[in-house]
Amino acid sequence: MMARRQEKMEAAAKICRLMGILLIFLPMAVHADRTSGPDLDPMKAGLKDTVTFRDKFYAAATVGNQVWMVGYFGTILHFDGDAARFQKQESHTRLPLFGVSFTDEKIGYIVGMQGIVLKTIDGGRTWTKMKPAGEANLFAVQFIDAQKGWAVGDFGTIVHTNDGGRIWEKQSLDDTDINFNGCHFMDADRGVVVGEFEGIYRTEDGGASWRPANDPDYAGISLFNVAFKTDHDGMAVGQNGVLFQTWDGGRSWQRKQLERHDNLLNVGVIDNRYYIVGLRGLMLEESFPGKFLENNNSDATDWFYCIGEMEDGSAIAAGDHGRILWSSGRHSRREWTILN
């Protein structure tokens, strides 16, 4: 009996020692998760010599831990997440660049004013001007592989390429000249474009035909961008705090008015949740499906138009005056730091 009691006491003592060790190291582990990521000081120092107050970033593309941002005066800014280094890439143009899409860490495309199309096959070390995709300004682009892509722009412009940007085919709507600002393709057949007058159009045949997914409101707001969490769950954002959400792949959309009536300039998916950025430093993160909380703990007041997530969980946002925000790790509520 005494031996059995002694064994129980020794087992209880071991459990207490293990609990003590866990209590010591668990806070350290949680703290490490919250502060994981690169040293921000060298990144801040590098941006001082790279980005100026005149820079404006309109769009971003992420692949792995690589980010490309494009904007005013033909600016292309590359972030190498593995080396934690920002570097400008030469575009050989002064035209504003509005959209960027990469299919892997080597092959990427950029579109902008006057139908300009740039292509790289070496991660942006060199960019080549392709034949312009018409004369319209192009505001967004998406490639689903190295050859197939779409771009959208003003006056109802939708163009498509099957050969890596050598030839662009018009798929524009015959009965509309509204500006299209954003696009998203799930695959080679299914896609959505959004634009003025709350216009949302979808295709199920690769753009050969387009159908309105809602009734355009010619007194309505402009939609600026669209993103999808899955092939079924998508969101489009626009002026005056208005957003549309779909749960059936874009066939039907539900309109929602947020309490804050600022323009919503872009929407992205981070931590498998929607993040919205916009005017006056607006940043909203999805707390529950369709519910948003403000999360601009950086106190930045510039407008933001780019937002994206890297493979390691870090996230980046950028916009007016060359402003760039950074967030490390994956969290239920992110902390954002101003880099420049």
The C-alpha R_g of the chain, in whole angstroms, comes to 23
- pLDDT of res. 173: 80
Q: Please state, in angstroms and rounded to a whole number, the distance separating the CA atoms of residues 340 and 323.
A: 6
3-state secondary structure of 95: coil
- pLDDT of res. 15: 43
- pLDDT of res. 195: 96
The per-residue DSSP string of 175-213 comes to T--PPEEEEEESSSS-EEEEEGGG-EEEESSTTSS-EES
Whole-prediction pTM value?
0.87
- pLDDT of res. 6: 52
Q: Please state, in angstroms and rounded to a whole number, the distance separating the CA atoms of residues 139 and 117.
A: 11
Fold exhibited by the domain 40-338: Methylamine Dehydrogenase; Chain H (2.130.10)
Could you state, in order of their start, the residue ranges of all structural domains in the chain? 1-35, 40-338
Return phi, psi of residue 106, to 5°. Answer: -110, -45
Strand partners, 69: 60, 77
Q: Which amino acid is present at 77?
A: L
Cβ burial 266-290 (10 Å sphere, 16+ → b, else e): bbbbbbebbbbbbbebbbbbbeeee
Q: Give the Cβ contact number of residue 230 at 10 Å.
A: 11
Mean pLDDT of successive 10-residue segments in the chain (340 residues)?
Answer: 49 46 36 57 87 94 97 96 92 97 98 98 97 94 98 96 96 84 97 95 95 78 96 96 96 93 96 94 89 81 93 94 89 84
Strand partners, 277: 266, 283
